[in-house]
Amino acid sequence: MYVRQPGARLTLLYSHGNAADLGQMYELFVELSSHLNVNLMGYDYSGYGQSSGKPSEQNTYADIEAAYRCLIETYGASEENIILYGQSVGSGPTLDLASRLPHLRAVVLHSPISSGLRVMYPVKHTYWFDIYKNIDKVALVKCPVLVIHGTADDVVDCSHGRALWELSKVKYEPLWVKGGNHCNLELYPEYIKHLKKFITAIEKSPPLKDDSPESSGPSDLETGSESMESSRKSTDVRDKSRSSTDHRRSTDRREKPRSSIDRKDKGRKSVDHPDKPRASVDQSDKPRKSIDRAYPYLVFLTLAMHCVTALEG
């Protein structure tokens, strides 16, 4: 699904979380495109929504590669103007691709995982049977990295986001949403405010070139007349009084954003769905995928945890 924003210079390639598909993400994609003034492409992983195939780690890497090639070859985007956005399990394919693109403009990690095994057990080392080894790939990313994570996340602990931010080569001021859970960060006004600030800073910063020295930190980005703050500074958002919906630990179900994103000027956008009618994208009546399909490896990882306990004990 491609959302075109007239006059936009940057394009966001969004990798959604588990137990979601384009039908659920459609409204959020349209609103993000409008409020951030970016083109936006979303895609479904193999076995999700109307996508064929079966969910697996390697297939998600192939899926994001295909979506990226579509942006380049069909929509005329360039690597220097693409921002990769990965939410939850989507941080896996996002960082895998970002680690292989030397001229990528930026990366956003939303409630990311440091690795699949680390979600279940706080291992100190990376094992061969682990999946989505983001903690080993994030340092290979050459562009600015923004991390957004809720401090009350009971699915993927906030320590995952903090660890990835600490290891990022080009840090951007992170957003630690105090009281934010795994699936409700879009409900906080600071979410869209901080994203806008980030996009503005990225637009004003020059793309990374072969003959230019690699950026050393967020001080290379400027927001208006103010330089970016120290890479060690974080943004703590005070807990909001609004109620949040409880989510089961086994799902990454997304709730529709409400007051935090103003829903105006929707008529300005055009949405392209290559090779499929819009009806096939809006699938609100269809059952969602369970985490078992996104993590067929979890049963094996559970057994492996006992071995890890013995090794690290």
Domain ranges of the chain: 2-239+254-312
Domain 2-239+254-312 of CATH type 3.40.50.1820: yes
Contacts with 57 (C-beta within 8 Å, 6 or more apart), sequence order: 92, 116, 131, 132, 297
Q: From 263, 194, 281, 282, select the one nearest 33 (Cα to Cα).
A: 263
Helix axes 57-73, 91-98, angle to 10 degrees: 60
**Banded model confidence at residue 216, pLDDT cuts 50, 70, 90:** very low
Which amino acids are annotated catalytic? 88, 153, 182
pTM: 0.74
Q: Phi first, then psi: give them for residue 252, nearest 5 degrees.
A: -125, 50
For 40, left (φ over 0), alpha (ψ -120 to 50), or beta? beta
CA distances from 257 to 25, 55, 227 (A): 10, 27, 31
Calpha distance 266→69 (Å, rounded): 27
- The per-residue pLDDT for 21 is 87
Q: From 155, 149, 224, select the one nearest 188 (Cα to Cα).
A: 149
- The per-residue pLDDT for 250 is 38
Residue 175, SS3 per DSSP: strand
Residue 265 predicted with pLDDT over 80: no
Calpha distance 94→272 (Å, rounded): 22
Least confident among 111-115, 128-132, 263-267: 263-267
- The per-residue pLDDT for 131 is 95
